[in-house]
Amino acid sequence: MFGFPIRVHPRDGNTIWTIPLNGDSQGRFPPGAAAAVWKSMDAGQTWSAKREGLPQENCFFTVLRQAMAGDTAEPAGLYFGTNSGSVFASSDEGESWQEIARHLPTVLAVEALG
């Protein structure tokens, strides 16, 4: 069985984020080898891809289920780690991203305080 990382907004249960990957037949990496965090603000009825600051070419990383976390700041911060050893962060509820660590071992889990 294969699952995606998912995060629910700390104050708005209708807002969620996930990072989908291709299935086993294609390899577990972002569709089109371009990273995106998908955001829904209506409990999953519609989704939009948030790509700013994420690799858009030759992106073959995997994000494990426990490797995505968030904080309770205003606006909410989001974080995810990859099997290629990078950690990405967003301080604007997933609208834009920056790589805050690289060259780590496979990131199996991410936790955020606050």
pLDDT tens figures, 5-26: 999 999 999 999 999 988 777 7
Question: How far is C-alpha 67 from the geometric centre of its chain's CA atoms?
Answer: 8
Residue with tokens 């490797």: 67
pLDDT band at 1 (very low <50, low <70, confident <90, very high): very low
Question: Could you tell me the pTM of the whole model?
Answer: 0.93
Considering only CA atoms, which of 72, 83, 80 is closest in space to residue 99?
80
Compute the average pLDDT of residues 51-70. 95
Q: How many helices, marked H, and strands, marked E, lie in the chain?
A: 0, 8
Q: What is the pLDDT of residues 68-88, one digit of tens each?
A: 999 999 999 999 999 999 999
